Amino acid sequence: MQLIEDPSKLQPYQGAAFVPTMGSLHDGHLSLMRRAKKLAEKIVISIFVNPTQFSPDEDYLKYPSTLDEDLAAAERVGVDAVFMPSVEIMYPNGIEPCDIELPDVAIKPQLEDTHRPEHFSGVCQVVSKLFDLIQPSVAIFGEKDYQQLLVIKQMVKDYQDRWPGLYIEPHPTAREDDGLAMSTRNTFLTKEQRTIACEVYQRLSWAQHAQAQEKISVGETEKVITNLLEYVGFVVDYAVIRSGDTLMSVSTFDQPTRALAAVRLGEVRLIDNIAINAN
Ligand code: PAF
């Protein structure tokens, strides 16, 4: 497995399957890499904690780093190259504004875009630079960050001349045995918080079953899941049913819909989502 800091060394990996990460790898990341192995001859991953997608109160310097374990895990999965650029390589002129025009799904749904206002411009900025440097044929993104997945898909569609033929492959969320979506942030949960963290998935699953069996309305479903999440101790940023394609509000379930939630437990923010009517 080749470790690459200098982008000029990426040339042999043009057309690879690509998994972008910020490191601190868990089984969710590894499942994306296993999927990547089936999609192209070579797999490249990136490990780069991108400063531009963190807001000032999120302190990107505290993002956990487990580099030795990450490299060992990537090697075991069969990754061919790990691109680990410095901030100076990614932002040689210092932090500049993002040159990507953000798609509606990054600015209109009032989900992550409202709660983390600079986030998607930072994500699009770094992912577009990584696509430019690596020129993959396919990039794999997890459904856990569902709005991010749709933003990247739309960005690639809007800029198809910049990355011709690039395909974004969605991958299902990897979960712990009790349903909790795997996330680097889970490591920040205390033992007690960890015991209730699985409730997010349980409540979203409840919405799925309730809709299938009782024909409950969109508004009632949102109210019930919000109340249940608050009851077990979460501060709820949102718990909503949205279009699975645009993430805009829906009044009925007669189309592909997703239940999405973002909640806070002390300092830790958890997000998750589940398909109600599959896309
Ligand atoms: O999902 C992530 O880990 C990050 O947002 C990404 C895509 C690696 C960009 O920094």
Q: Cα of 148 to ligand 1 centre, how many Å?
A: 8
Higher pLDDT, 208 or 246: 246
List residues near ligand 1 (CB under 6 A): 20-22, 50, 53, 123, 126-127, 145, 148
Summarised one tens digit per residue, pLDDT across range 109-122 is 999 999 999 999 99
Which of 55, 82, 123, 184 should be mutated for ligand 1, with most atoms under 8 A from CB?
Answer: 123
Mean confidence (pLDDT) of the chain: 96
Domains of the chain: 2-171 (3.40.50.620), 184-272 (3.30.1300.10)
Question: 3-state DSSP call for residue 124?
Answer: helix
Q: Cα of 219 to ligand 1 centre, how many Å?
A: 32
Alpha-carbon distances, residue 17 vs 20, 39, 54, 63, 188 (angstroms): 10, 6, 26, 26, 31
Do residues 86 and 47 make contact, with C-beta atoms less than 8 angstroms apart? no
Q: Is 29 a catalytic residue?
A: yes
The structure's pTM equals: 0.96
